[in-house]
């Protein structure tokens, strides 16, 4: 069962939540970047539904925001955001 209402509308639709979170945690731990990480954190609607349904109790909102900042500092932003980029 999917938690996020947006994931079925993205290329991540065939990934399980467990697969997506594993890739996100790999990025957090050792910087292993993947398109899945980018897509998940930047398509997050911040509804909190995935956090509420996570069997491990992971607060995804607390994880995604620092990842967005890290990706932005690495120059990995959605095209629409790049023209407004102001990162120190």
Asked whether the predicted pLDDT for residue 7 surpasses 90, the reply is no
- Cα(88)–Cα(29) distance, integer angstroms: 23
Q: What is the pLDDT of residues 40-68, one digit of tens each?
A: 888 888 888 888 878 778 888 888 999 99
- pTM to 2 decimal places: 0.74
Q: How confident is the model at residue 70 (pLDDT cuts 50, 70, 90)?
A: very high
Tokens of 63: 């994880």
Domain boundaries of the chain, sorted by first residue: 7-76
pLDDT the model gives residue 3: 64
DSSP string covering 13-31, please? GGS-HHHHHHHHHHHHHH-
- Cα(17)–Cα(86) distance, integer angstroms: 32
Please answer whether residues 6 and 43 qualify as being in contact, where contact means their C-beta atoms are separated by less than 8 angstroms. yes
């Amino acid at each position: 069962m999917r938690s996020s209402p947006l994931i079925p509308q993205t290329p991540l639709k065939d990934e399980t939540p467990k697969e997506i979170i594993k890739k996100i945690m790999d990025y957090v731990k050792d910087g292993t970047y993947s398109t899945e990480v980018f897509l998940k954190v930047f398509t997050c609607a911040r509804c909190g539904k995935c956090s509420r349904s996570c069997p491990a109790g992971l607060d995804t909102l607390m994880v995604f925001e620092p990842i967005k900042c890290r990706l932005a500092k690495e120059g990995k932003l959605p095209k629409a955001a790049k023209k407004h980029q102001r990162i120190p």
